[in-house]
Each structure stands twice: as C-alpha cells, then as structure tokens.
C-alpha cells in the first residue's frame, strides 16, 4: 500500500507563500547592498600648516587710484588804467640851410613822344558795324539779277541751286579776294564771280570807329523759270 501524506504535511498549497517571502527577502537584500555606506579611513590632516602656506604666498595688490586731473589754469589779464596820458613829442631837426647848386637842380620832366600804333592789316569776321551794299541788300540783289547770265550748259542740264561766294570788303569798300566756297557747277561758279566783280563798292565795316577789312559770304541763287 502507498503511504499517503496527511493534509497538514502537504506543502504544495504553501508554495505561493514561500515564493512571496523569498521575493521580499531578495528585495530587502538588494536595497541594503545599494544603500550601505562605507567610509575610508584617512589620516587626520592638520590645516594649520596649509593656511599658513596659502597666506604666505598670497600678496595683496592695492587698487590703482588715478589722481584727478589738475584744474585748468585761467590766465587773467591785468588791466592797468592810465590816468595821465603822456604825450611823446619827437624832436625832428630840419636843416633848411641847403645850398642848391646847378648839379643838384631838378631837371624839367620831358614826356616821351607818343608812339603811334601800327594798324595791322587784319581781316575781321565780326565787327561792330558790318559792311553793307550802297542802297541796301534789296537793291544789291536786284543788280545781281539784272547782270547775271544763266550758263547755257546749266540750262541744258537743268542745274539749279545756290553758289556761295566769299569776299573781303576793303577799307575803301571795294570787294576783293573773291572765291567760291560752295558751288553747283563750273560755269555757274565763274558767272557768280564775274557778277560780283562788276558790283559797285560797299560801305566798309568799322571797328572802334575806324574802317577795317571784313570777310563775308553771300549766296547767289540760280533758278530756272517754269515752262
């Protein structure tokens, strides 16, 4: 026959209790290990020598104090009042006893003769009074139109335009140095010069009230009549 355990001797029902008790004991052991404080044995150190060494090596440096700047020096001007004005009269000796000889006589001032300015034969382009034809420009162009002959070659080639003639009005009013500065054909240019040479004298130009030579340019127009 198999022996049977009594209910009081059966520990199977108390397994859970034993597990809880073991868990609690393990936790208490772990906590005790981590919280346990240990102290090392050190020799006592005397701080008397240390404090003496530190204070011996420390040198107290006083703060640098800059002296304030000196006050500005005000220079006073001493005014001295003069009550009595002293007049200083210098004695000037004038020797009136001077012998005038012929050598010391003052010669009479003689003004130098006036040098007449040589009038330069200058040709002006701008003057105070411009030269003009006698009778005015209207009469001048009427005379040009009467005396000019239209060249046959220019008529055949139907050439029209303006010929610009440059000339110098002399001091006497004569027209000199005639030349064409801009033309339209050889025949027309030569005819314009011929007509200008046949024109009467002009009134000369003036600069500062005197007659001078003046350069001028006038146009002469060639125009064919409509057929």
Structure tokens at 126: 């701008």
Predicted local confidence at residue 59, as pLDDT: 52
Predicted local confidence at residue 83, as pLDDT: 47
Q: Which domains does the chain carry?
A: 133-222 (3.30.1150)
If DSSP codes are grouped into helix, strand and coil, which group holds residue 185?
coil
Mean of all residue pLDDT scores within the chain: 75
Predicted local confidence at residue 11, as pLDDT: 62
Q: Which bin fits 42, alpha (ψ -120 to 50), beta or left (φ > 0)? A: beta
* Statement: the pTM of the whole predicted model exceeds 0.75: no
Predicted local confidence at residue 119, as pLDDT: 54
């Amino acid at each position: 026959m198999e022996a049977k355990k009594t209910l009081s001797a059966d520990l199977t029902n108390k397994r859970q209790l034993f597990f809880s008790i073991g868990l609690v004991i393990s936790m208490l052991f772990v906590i005790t290990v981590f919280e346990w404080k240990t102290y090392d044995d050190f020799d006592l150190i005397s701080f008397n020598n240390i404090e003496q060494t530190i204070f011996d090596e420390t040198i107290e440096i006083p703060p640098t104090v800059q002296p304030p700047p000196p006050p500005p020096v005000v220079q006073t001007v001493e005014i001295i009042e003069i009550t009595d004005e002293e007049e200083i009269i210098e004695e000037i000796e004038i020797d009136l006893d001077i012998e005038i000889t012929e050598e010391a006589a003052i010669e009479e001032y003689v003004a130098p003769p006036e040098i007449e300015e040589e009038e330069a034969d200058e040709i002006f382009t701008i003057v105070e009074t411009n030269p003009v034809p006698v009778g005015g420009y209207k009469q001048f162009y009427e005379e040009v139109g009467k005396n000019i002959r239209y060249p046959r070659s220019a008529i055949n080639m139907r050439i029209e335009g303006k010929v610009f003639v440059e000339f110098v009005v002399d001091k006497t009013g004569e027209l000199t140095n005639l030349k064409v500065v801009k033309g339209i054909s050889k025949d027309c240019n030569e005819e314009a010069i011929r007509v200008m040479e046949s024109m009467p004298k002009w009134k000369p130009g003036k600069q500062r009230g005197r007659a001078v030579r003046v350069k001028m340019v006038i146009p002469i127009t060639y125009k064919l009549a409509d057929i």
